[in-house]
Structure formats: C-alpha cells, structure tokens
Amino acid sequence: METMDSRIEVLRADIQQCRKCSLYETRHHALVGNGAENARIMLIGEAPGAEEDQQGIVFIGKAGQMLDKILMACNFSRDKHLFITNIVRCRPPGNRPPKDEEIAACLPYLERQIELINPSILITLGATALRSLAGGTSRITRDRGKWQYYGTRLMMPTYHPAALLRNPGLKKETWEDFKEVIRKYREMADPGHPCNYV
Ligand code: URA
C-alpha cells in the first residue's frame, strides 16, 4: 500500500537521483530539504550554496545563520514548526542565480513536496522563490509583506536572508513580515504559540 511515508521516500529518492538539468554534473548533494514532515510552515529559498552542497543540509551557511536568528525570535524551531527547502535542489556553480530551465525542471519536486507536507503557510525567501511561485511579473520590493495565495495555501513573500547581510536596512521590513506570519500561525495552527515580540 502507498503510505504518506513511502511517498515521501520516493520523492526523496527522485530528488537525490535527479538528472533533469545539468546541475547534477557539479553537485555534491541534491537537497531534499530539512525539518518536520508535518510542518504547518514551509520556507522556500533559492538554491543551495557551497556549504549546503557540501553537507546536504539547507541554509547552514552565513545566510542560514541569519535565518536562524529570525526563526529564534519567532520561536519557530526547524525540527518542530518548519520544513525548509529551495526552488532548485542543486548548487548552481559559483552561486549564480538558477536559470529558468533549471527552475522549470526542479519545480515539480516542490509541488509534490507541498502536497505531501501539506503546510498551511508558505514563506518565499527572495525574488527567485517569489517569481517561481507567483509568476515573473512579481516584484520582491513591491510584493513582500503581502499575503497571497499559492493554490489554496497562504504565501508570504519576504526578502532572502542573504539580502539582509548585504543590506541590513532590509531587516526591519523582514521582521514585520515574519511577525505577520506569527499572527497567522496563531490564527491557523496554535493560538498559544509563544513569542515575546508579537
Ligand atoms: N541560500 C538559499 O537560498 N538556500 C540555501 O539552502 C542556502 C542559501
């Protein structure tokens, strides 16, 4: 019988063996994502960096450390509340942005993963994730902080943590966006979710 666990395992194997674009030639790991497989919140970044490619774990480099500070302030734990993944599962060489054809090849994995994990809230981190899910006319500076729908699910676009490292002036707006997520999470999943700031 096909169970949820077996479907997750099949997806994992499909991602790890993927050769749908040329990024497989240079990768060390194809990243499935990390977190709780029943998470109510899914965070979606762009693509693995060097550190993530080496270790096979999402968001563990400098941008990941910035993300962890935000998540800690929200009282969201990677193991319990979140599943974190990327639009593209293999590292683009030299950290260039993923190409349209790489995004198109990889996106069906995310679609399957969203169906399986079934989160209520999606958070897109940066322009690539936003455009990949909401369409090419999206603009991160214009659209961040505003709820939109991805199918039946709520989606909050915000800045990528790497952008906050380059431009600390974006931290304030990003924190406003995450506070919105905490409010919505309380509404949809856990009214008692503790957070000192909201
Ligand atoms: N940047 C991303 O978008 N994803 C990662 O996993 C790491 C850095």
Domains of the chain, earliest start first = 4-188 (3.40.470.10)
Q: How far is the CA of 58 from the centre of ligand 1 (A)?
A: 6
Pocket probe mutation, ligand 1, options 42, 59, 84, max atoms within 8 Å of Cβ: 59
Which of 26, 160, 12, 19 has the alpha carbon at shortest distance from 92?
Answer: 26
Identity of the residue numbered 176: E
Residues of the chain predicted below pLDDT 70:
none
Instruction: Please tell me the predicted confidence (pLDDT) of residue 1.
Output: 75
Distance CA 180, CA 197 (A): 11
Judge if the beta carbon of residue 159 lies within 6 A of ligand 1.
no
**Angle of CA points 44, 30, 10, to nearest 5°:** 90
pTM more than 0.75 = yes
pLDDT digits (tens, 9 = 90+) for 105-115: 999 999 999 99
- Name the 3-class secondary structure at 85: strand
Instruction: Please tell me the predicted confidence (pLDDT) of residue 177.
Output: 98
Judge if the beta carbon of residue 161 lies within 6 A of ligand 1.
no
Instruction: Please tell me the predicted confidence (pLDDT) of residue 25.
Output: 98
Closest ligand 1 atom to residue 31 Cα is 6
Q: How far is the CA of 191 from the centre of ligand 1 (A)?
A: 30
Contacts of 189 (CB under 8 A, 6+ apart): 40, 120
**Atom 7 in ligand 1: which residue has the minimum CA distance?**
59
Instruction: Please tell me the predicted confidence (pLDDT) of residue 63.
Output: 98
Closest ligand 1 atom to residue 128 Cα is 3
Which of 60, 46, 8, 55 has the alpha carbon at shortest distance from 27?
Answer: 55
Which of 8, 46, 9, 188 has the alpha carbon at shortest distance from 127?
Answer: 46
Instruction: Please tell me the predicted confidence (pLDDT) of residue 158.
Output: 99
Judge if the beta carbon of residue 46 lies within 6 A of ligand 1.
yes
Contacts of 71 (CB under 8 A, 6+ apart): 77, 78, 82
Distance CA 95, CA 118 (A): 30
Instruction: Please tell me the predicted confidence (pLDDT) of residue 2.
Output: 84
Instruction: Please tell me the predicted confidence (pLDDT) of residue 4.
Output: 83
**Distance of CA 5 to CAs 12, 107, 113, Å?**
10, 21, 12
